[in-house]
Amino acid sequence: MTGQQSHATTQLRRDKRLDATHRMRLDAAIHRQGRGWLTGREGGRPWSLSRTNRVLACLGALALLVLLSPLLLALAALVKWSSPGPVFFVQQRTGYRGRMFGMYKLRTMVANAEELKESLRYLNKHGSEAIDFKIDRDPRVTPIGRWLRRSSLDELPNLFNVVIGDMRLVGPRPTSFNAYRYQDNHLVRLSIYPGITGLWQISGRSNIDFDQRVELDLSYISQQSLMLDMKILLKTPFKVFSGQGAS
């Protein structure tokens, strides 16, 4: 069995959690680049799916976790002191090829926030029927949580997901709704691993709808490279600290 056949077999086994019809939708929509990112070889892996990306992202995340551990411990204590409930919030998100995974964040809402979500859907700024869910001045967010969100510090635990392998440092942000709710033109964003930051975050366009976010994701997918990732990573802290980054 060749390496490509083995990869395809492993991928199919992992995707068995999706029904056959949905796997066909994914396969029909997913953007496949025909050349390797480094050699240009036909059938090679693009940058976002390369082993180099995986290793560099893991090492980078580990280094950041070590450097930022005092800050992370202080924020964890602040969250625990400010409101009852766990320090971390683990939410099911949609990742590569529609696979669900638990994404780690510092808790910014009341402990029963997920239970209250449907009762607040009428406040969704994108419309009550929209698949993307966001509320201005969300009543579930704690005072400390508002500050954590404005500064994006609540997302620091995403680094654990990068180490585990569910995410990369750069890529589309994973959605809280599953792939079954994606329209066919949205599914392409699932062709690569989700990331902590991306073009949306550095664009400063926090109020765009999901269709517009997908356009930015497709732009990243078509241009993906090590140099583009470096550019996004360098710009992200400045956008976050200036308050201009998308949240």
Is residue 37 domain-resident?
no
Rounded to an integer, what distance in angstroms lies between the CA atom of residue 74 and that of residue 76? 5
Predicted TM-score of the model (pTM):
0.82
pLDDT tens digit sequence for 118-172? 778 777 766 666 666 777 788 888 999 989 988 889 999 999 999 999 999 999 9
Q: What is the average per-residue pLDDT within 10-29?
A: 63
Is residue 9 domain-resident?
no
| 41 phi, psi to nearest 5 deg | -70, 135
pLDDT tens digit sequence for 57-78? 999 999 999 999 999 999 999 9
Q: Does residue 241 carry a pLDDT above 70? A: yes
Is residue 33 domain-resident?
no
Is residue 70 domain-resident?
yes
Is residue 27 domain-resident?
no
Is residue 13 domain-resident?
no
Tell me if residue 147 falls in helix, strand or coil: helix
Question: Which of 12-21, 172-181, 182-191, 197-206 is the least confident region?
Answer: 12-21
The answer to whether residues 11 and 3 touch, using CB atoms and an 8 Å cutoff, is: no
Question: Which of 22-36, 106-120, 225-239 is the least confident region?
Answer: 22-36
How many domains does the chain contain in total?
A: 1
What is the greatest pairwise CA distance in the chain? 56
Is residue 84 domain-resident?
yes
Rounded to an integer, what distance in angstroms lies between the CA atom of residue 191 and that of residue 96? 6
Domain limits at 155? 43-242
pLDDT tens digit sequence for 94-103? 999 999 999 9
Is residue 161 domain-resident?
yes
Quick one: pLDDT at residue 181?
87
